[in-house]
Structure 1
Amino acid sequence: MKTVLLITYFFPPQTEAGALRPFYLGKYLKDYGWDVSIVTPPAPPPGASPPAPRGEAAAFKRILRKWPAFQILKNVRNSLVYFPDAARSWIPQAVREANARFRSRRIDALISTALPGSAHIIGAIVAKQQSAPWIADYRDLWTENPYRPFGHVRNSIERSLEVSVLRRAAAITTVSAAFAASLSLIHGRDDIDVIPNAGDPQDWQGISDLKPAAFSLCYAGRLYKGKRSPDLLFAAMAALRKAGDPAGLSVRFDFYGPEGEIVHEAASRHGVADLVFVHGVVSRQLVLEAERASAALVLLLRDDEAVSDEYGSKIFEYAGAKRPVIALGRSGSVLQTFLDRTGLGIFVSTADECAAGLRRLYERYRRGEFEPEYREGWSTFTAPALAERFAAVLDRICSQA
């Protein structure tokens, strides 16, 4: 059996969504002829899942966040100190560890998966030092990522770095055709392999699949400092309750993740604080149990054309929960097309559409219908299939080396 070295900044027991794709590779590549040796930080990276501030600390943070000069200074500091990203201090350690793995056993290829971009820097250094074929996997875009807070000068410098680093990659993989098109322009190559994110049916073994006890909505994930916002959802919940609609009188919203103070503030603005429950960062097992216990699952997208090509990985986890999805974002998103094609849920762009969607979901829940209305012939992309696709790329680049 051949061996691949997998370089990843995120890996379980971290609860970050970015930990799942490398975890599935580590779990299933052996079924397709590849043993996996994993290089990852020995402990959760600082700030990977920070607890939400409380009390006076939370109040002080809210004041600072509303001061424009503070955000400008913070962005300048981050731009200078964390170049190319907060994982920069891990690079020397990871390179040493990777080279030690090559010395201790035969390794036939390596994969780095990003973000952060530092993972690709490590991959490029090790690939050069060991003359090994290398796959650079983009779970998210690097310098084209719409969630980056940096300006034009910083982005231009880092774009040059990205292009230089990736020149040595024997293959580039990513999660969607839209990302592949962007990467083709950046790197001047048309051989980008698309391997979607996946869900693992085994994740749900032992988790009850009973009718939800209440008309509860669940969101599990990050808000990216408010770039993903629950305001539209809360406005719809408030309008339904004010109108005396049964959906508005029955609904509750459960939030799992960091940045809970953003959720509290939004709920208070819309007068639905009593319907909103913030649970903070919990284990992945508890998240899956919460998703399965919900009547519907919420996806929040940034209201920006720049993210219209964004799928994310959460939709595949939600598919495993077997609960309908209500996604909120700008019309025209690829996720809107995906939901229409699969029957996994509904996509809304306005408060009125959201209210109508909640009414529809409530009526189905009231009738005891709490699974998605799947389109005939559709099935989710699974973690074993993801590993099989990566194994095929590994076999190809090794045969060309």
Structure 2
Amino acid sequence: MNTSLLISNVAPEDAGDSPAGRIEKIATQKTLLREHGWEQIIGKITRGRYLPQGIAHCLRLGYKHSVDVVHSISEPIHLHIAGFVVSRVLGVPWVAHARDSMVVNKPGVTPGSTDERLREVVEGFVARFADRVLWDENGAMIPEGYFERTYPEVNQSKFVQLPSIGFVAEKFDGVAPATYEEQTITFAGSFYAGWGEPFEFFDGLQRYLAREDAESVTFHVYGEWGETYQEACEARGIEDHVVPHGWVPHEELVPPLKGSDILLHIGGRDPQHSAGIGTKVYDYIGAQRPILVLGDPSFRVATVVESNDLGVVVPGDDPEEVATAIDHLLTEFEFDPDSSVRQEFSREHRIEALAHELDEAVANAT
């Protein structure tokens, strides 16, 4: 059994104090890596001002567990600085993993700012000195071939795109779907001000419900809700067809997803988000129910859904078109993707690829 030291700003024991999604991903990664011969030890470093103490903590873990590789994962980017130092002191390979973009398409980073320049320095350091540079296929907002084009002088084989974060198959397999008296459309996750909000869907739902041959439909929301959205529903007269549930544990979300007639994803039309896929989309794939995407048809999430026969994509700016898409999914659409699709977008597939890259880093260093 080999051992990796994952340098992260969250750990599984942080439940209640850190983002639940990231904690789950790290915990699941730890479990699944064991199936491929890797034990994952976590060295937690929170804020950048604690970097010296964090590096010392990671070094103690590295010596104690005789780690074979150091695996740093951003954000935040100071974790890669720790990854470099710890790997060099321990004399083991360094795998740097970009969970999110460091520079390109980075929301909240002003072009030309000190923050951007610092990020460029760290990214360049990662590209040149890490033994492997991994980046996520989903959500990282890193364009295809970005590292190769930006750092042509570097050995290109070190840049590796991991498969999608995916869904955990065992959390869906064997779970009974929820049952509903009416046709059901479900949204899970967060809305995003300015580019990922439900108002266009509300317009389309209103238009659909006004049709003489409309099915009786209820829209369930698991996640973010507020007065603005409630008032928008009331203004359109659809409030009796909308049921907000708030946030629920993942195990409570799976049955509604599996029992829904349509699963809604709002991808928007902001080019800055063209390469991203919300992680809830993978849960939608795991639930094996038709997906309705409102957003630019050229965006990656739209391409994944349409090319794999997982659902329907409409831009969202035409309420009548949204209404027609709802009608089509409820009455005509046959959900029958190829059996390989579910495996391709599973977490197990991703961890297998990660384990391979850890193996390669060790093999190439010896």
TM tier, smaller: 0.7 to 0.9
For the residue of structure 1 that corresponds to 2:35, the secondary structure is helix
For the residue of structure 2 that corresponds to 1:199, the secondary structure is coil
Scaled by the length of structure 1, what TM-score is found? 0.77
Q: Shift of the alpha carbon at 1:208?
A: 0.7
Which residue number in structure 1 is paired with residue 137 of structure 2?
176
Which residue number in structure 1 is paired with residue 248 of structure 2?
282
Given the alignment of the two structures, is residue 2 of structure 1 paired with residue 2 of structure 2, yes or no? Answer: yes
Cα separation, partners in 2 of 1:124 and 1:221, compared to 1, 3 Å: farther
Q: Distance in 2 between matches of 1:317 and 1:180?
A: 24
Which residue number in structure 2 is paired with residue 152 of structure 1?
111
Cα separation, partners in 2 of 1:225 and 1:334, compared to 1, 3 Å: same
Q: Distance in 1 between matches of 2:104 and 2:184?
A: 35
Which residue number in structure 2 is paired with residue 76 of structure 1?
none
Which residue number in structure 1 is paired with residue 284 of structure 2?
318
Which residue number in structure 2 is paired with residue 372 of structure 1?
335
Which residue number in structure 2 is paired with residue 222 of structure 1?
190
Given the alignment of the two structures, is residue 199 of structure 1 paired with residue 199 of structure 2, yes or no? Answer: no
Contact 1:253-1:277 at 8 Å conserved across structures = yes
Contact 1:199-1:380 at 8 Å conserved across structures = no
Given the alignment of the two structures, is residue 131 of structure 1 paired with residue 91 of structure 2, yes or no? Answer: yes
Greater displacement, 332-341 / 32-41: 32-41
Q: Distance in 2 between matches of 1:360 and 1:108?
A: 53
Contact 1:112-1:136 at 8 Å conserved across structures = yes
Give 1:69-218 correspondences, 5 Å limit.
Answer: 87-88=47-48, 91-92=51-52, 94-146=54-106, 148-154=107-113, 156-166=116-126, 167-176=128-137, 179-188=143-152, 189=154, 190-191=156-157, 192-197=159-164, 198-209=166-177, 212-218=180-186
Greater displacement, 305-314 / 172-181: 172-181
For the residue of structure 1 that corresponds to 2:112, the secondary structure is helix
Q: Shift of the alpha carbon at 1:380?
A: 2.9
1:187-239 superposed Cα distances (whole Å, 9 cap, x missing partner): 44433212212222111245213654432222222224443111221110011
For the residue of structure 2 that corresponds to 1:298, the secondary structure is strand
Where structure 2 has 5 or more consecutive residues not aligned to the other structure, the ranges are none
Which residue number in structure 1 is paired with residue 36 of structure 2?
32
Scaled by the length of structure 2, what TM-score is found? 0.83
Contact 2:208-2:320 at 8 Å conserved across structures = no
Cα separation, partners in 2 of 1:377 and 1:31, compared to 1, 3 Å: closer
Q: Distance in 1 between matches of 2:285 and 2:68?
A: 35
Which residue number in structure 1 is paired with residue 354 of structure 2?
390
Q: Shift of the alpha carbon at 1:118?
A: 3.9
Amino acid at match of 1:157: R
CA RMSD of aligned residues (A): 2.9
Q: Shift of the alpha carbon at 1:393?
A: 1.0
Q: Shift of the alpha carbon at 1:180?
A: 4.4
Q: Distance in 1 between matches of 2:85 and 2:327?
A: 54
Q: Distance in 2 between matches of 1:129 and 1:261?
A: 53
Amino acid at match of 2:330: Y
Give 1:217-366 correspondences, 5 Å limit.
Answer: 217-247=185-215, 250-258=216-224, 260-261=226-227, 263-350=229-316, 351-363=319-331
Q: Distance in 1 between matches of 2:230 and 2:306?
A: 31
Contact 1:263-1:278 at 8 Å conserved across structures = no
Cα separation, partners in 2 of 1:255 and 1:162, compared to 1, 3 Å: farther
Q: Shift of the alpha carbon at 1:40?
A: 4.3
Q: Distance in 2 between matches of 1:262 and 1:169?
A: 46
Q: Identity of paired residues, percent? A: 22
Cα separation, partners in 2 of 1:104 and 1:294, compared to 1, 3 Å: same
Q: Shift of the alpha carbon at 1:16?
A: 4.4
Cα separation, partners in 2 of 1:91 and 1:299, compared to 1, 3 Å: farther
Q: Shift of the alpha carbon at 1:158?
A: 3.6
1:340-360 superposed Cα distances (whole Å, 9 cap, x missing partner): 221111111133332111101
Contact 2:285-2:342 at 8 Å conserved across structures = no
Where structure 1 has 5 or more consecutive residues not aligned to the other structure, the ranges are 46-86
Q: Distance in 1 between matches of 2:186 and 2:264?
A: 6
Which residue number in structure 2 is paired with residue 60 of structure 1?
none
